[in-house]
Amino acid sequence: MIQINNALQPADFTTRLQQFWDLSAQKIKLIDTQYDTAKGSPVFTVQGHYTTRGWTEWTQGFQFGSAILQFDATGDTSFLEMGRQKTLTVMAPHISHIGVHDHGFNNVSTYGNLLRLMREGKTEFNEWEKNFYELALKISGAVQASRWTTMKTGGFIHSFNGPHSLFVDTIRSCRAVVLSHSLGHVFQGEGDVVINLLDRALQHMKATADYSVFYGEGRDTYDLWGRTAHESVFNTKDGNFRCPNSQQGYTGFSTWTRGLAWAMCGFAEQLEYLNTFEKTDLEPFGGWTVVEAYLLKAARATCDFYIEHTPANGIPYWDTGAPGLAKMGDYLNRPADPYNDFEPVDSSAAAIGAQGLLRLGKYLSERGDVENGLRYWQAGLTVLDTLFAEPYLSTDPNHQGLILHSIYHRPNGWDYVPEESKIPYGESSMWGDYHAREVALYLQRVLNNEPYYTFFGALA
């Protein structure tokens, strides 16, 4: 399990954050000048250079969102202009993309961050530009919410696999739906029926909490507190749940750690978002107490599982049930080894999960649960203490990636394996790099006593 360093403080990261943003600037420029955009969106690196992989277009918002975060952290306006212009010229198809569930990834990372910066006064206010960003977010959230499957206990936003498929990933992408709601969008269906976007978002969160997360309550033989399934499969004829499954993990009965991390971060930030509501606003949806209870249970369970089933230094292997782990001895009680002969680590899960740990820790501390809040907070700092240093921080000026040892799709064999190795290592991903920047910005703002960083800062 993670050996939590209780002595770490945000101030301990001052020098490393400066190094991080210096390296980040280099990587963004490398991609901008060297990547062939005719190939499609950059997804992950092969021998240090970003390449693409045609599956779905879900990473382009991370590319341009990274430039926007770089401006936010450093004030370098060249990155603001890069992110703004690329959003204007390239991102429109992602707003109306009816074939994916990833709207919160692509569009909140771009239009959402640009609107947030304007709301915060970090960019010059312009009424029409604000309206442009707001319209993009309104439509994006509505398109995402239209991917709707009704089941026995409610409904959910289905994945690109089809109406039977609930992905755990989408809890983090649900930001698009709630922003659309809070921006006042009126979403209409057949016969002009008005569909409440907050209701859809909450139903999806509840479905994810109920079916994607396990609580050690006897659902199946492999039911452990906080374990997650990448995919939950439903019978669309009668609305019944059928089984857990996995697209990118080892099996539906093991835990793909990036999916776990999406849940950690997604539930924690939705708790923060819903805490901005008046308690009476949630009465039509079961009431604040009920909603907070299932979100908090899922957030705590997934963060606990991450702490318990991740090696001592906070970097997880790609799946907690990966078969090669059995050959690695007491691997959980020593630092993860990205160069081993059996199973790869996934640093992108660490970048995503660390933010969930920090946000949940702060949320609990502010509610008066200081002991547990501090545990999650310090666990998050412990992860970053490893992630923001070599061998995970990419210091090679010729490598386009920022965070090394990320994994995309181990079962499909998509990740680059060096000739001398039995496993993939040494490469980066667009989502891993983006989320490392996001959590670095989060920590920097805490350190500098700046406004607290949230996706719903776009509403302020």
* Residues of each annotated binding site: 102, 258, 262
Ramachandran category for residue 200: left, alpha or beta (phi over 0 → left; psi -120 to 50 → alpha) = alpha
* Matching residue, tokens 């569930």: 101
Residue 271, SS3?
A: helix
For residue 426, give the nearest of 413, 412, 416 by alpha carbon.
416
Neighbours of 460 (CB within 10 A): 12
- What's the CA gap between 391 and 402, in Å, rounded? 11
User: Residue 404's closest CA among 52, 47, 35?
Assistant: 47
In this structure, which amino acid lies at residue 41? S
Q: Are 108 and 157 in contact (CB under 8 A)?
A: no
- The sign of the dihedral angle between the CA atoms of 375, 376, 377, 383 is positive
Q: Which two tokens mark 156?
A: 């959910």
User: What is the radius of gyration, based on Cα positions, of the chain?
Assistant: 20
- Binding site for substrate, by residue number, is 102, 258, 262
Phi, psi dihedral angles at 46 (to 5 degrees): -130, 115
Residue with tokens 């740990």: 357
CA distance 343 to 191: 53
Half-sphere exposure for 93 (CA within 13 Å, toward CB): 11
371: CB partners within 8 A, 6+ apart: none
Virtual CA dihedral for 303, 306, 253, 204, nearest 10 degrees? 30
